[in-house]
Chain A
Amino acid sequence: MPTLIDLIRAGRKVERHHPWPRAVVDSDAWRAAAGALADGGLSLLGLWGEPSCVHMAIVDERTSDIGVVSLDCPDRRFPSVAACHPPALRLERTIHDLFGLQAAGTPDPRPWLDHGRWPMRFPLGERLDAAPDPAPYQFLPAEGDGLHQIPVGPVHAGIIEPGHFRFTASGETVVRLEQRLGYTHKGVEGLMTGSAVEQAARLAGRVSGDSTVAYALAFAQAVEAAQQIAVPPRAVLLRALMAEFERLANHLGDIGAICNDASFALMQAHCAVLREAVLRAADAAFGHRLMRDLVVPGGVARDIAGDGPNAIRAALDQIRRHFPALIELYDNTASLQDRTVGTGIVTAALARQFAAGGYVGRASGRDHDARRKPGYLPYDGLRFEVPVLGDGDVNARVWIRIREVQQSLALAYQILVGLEAGPVRVSLRAASEAAEGIALVEGFRGDILVWLRLNGDRIDRCHLRDPSWFQWPLLEAAIEGNIVADFPLCNKSFNCSYSGQDL
Chain B
Amino acid sequence: MRKLLFESLFRQPLTEQAPRPDDAALAELAAAVGRTARRRLGRSLSIREVDAGSCNGCELEIHALGNAYYDVERFGIRFVASPRHADVLLVTGPVTNNMREALERTYRATPDPKWVVAAGDCARDGGCFAGSYAVVGGVSAVVPVDLHIPGCPPSPIAILRGLIGLLEAVDSGVAAR
Contact = CB atoms under 8 A, between A and B. Distances in A.
* A, B co-complexed: yes
Interface of B: 1, 3-5, 14, 22, 49-64, 66-69, 79, 81-83, 93-94, 96-102, 106, 127-129, 131-135, 152-153, 155
Interface string A37-66: 000000000000000000000000000000
Interface of A: 113, 115, 117-120, 123, 154-155, 157-162, 182-188, 190-191, 199, 202-203, 206-210, 212, 253, 266, 269-270, 272-273, 275-276, 279-280, 289-290, 292, 325, 329, 332-333, 497-499
A329 B58 contact: no
B64 A185 contact: no
Contact of A497 (B3, B56, B67, B101): B56
Nearest to A283: B155
Contacts of B82: 157
B51 A292 contact: no
A198 B57 CA distance: 20
B96 A186 contact: yes
A190 B101 CA distance: 23
Given A206-B55, A497-B56, 8 more contacts: A117-B100, A159-B63, A162-B53, A185-B98, A186-B53, A209-B56, A253-B63, A275-B64
Contacts of A202: 128
Nearest to B68: A273
B99 A209 contact: no
B59 A292 contact: no
Given A199-B128, A207-B55, A182 B102 contact: no
Contacts of B14: 273
B51 to A, nearest CB: 5
B57 A206 contact: yes
Contacts of B1: 266, 329, 332-333
18 contacts: A117-B98, A117-B101, A123-B133, A155-B83, A157-B82, A158-B81, A159-B49, A183-B53, A184-B99, A188-B132, A191-B131, A209-B54, A209-B57, A209-B60, A209-B153, A266-B4, A273-B68, A275-B67
A253 B133 CA distance: 34
Contact of A162 (B81, B94, B99): B99
B67 A187 contact: no
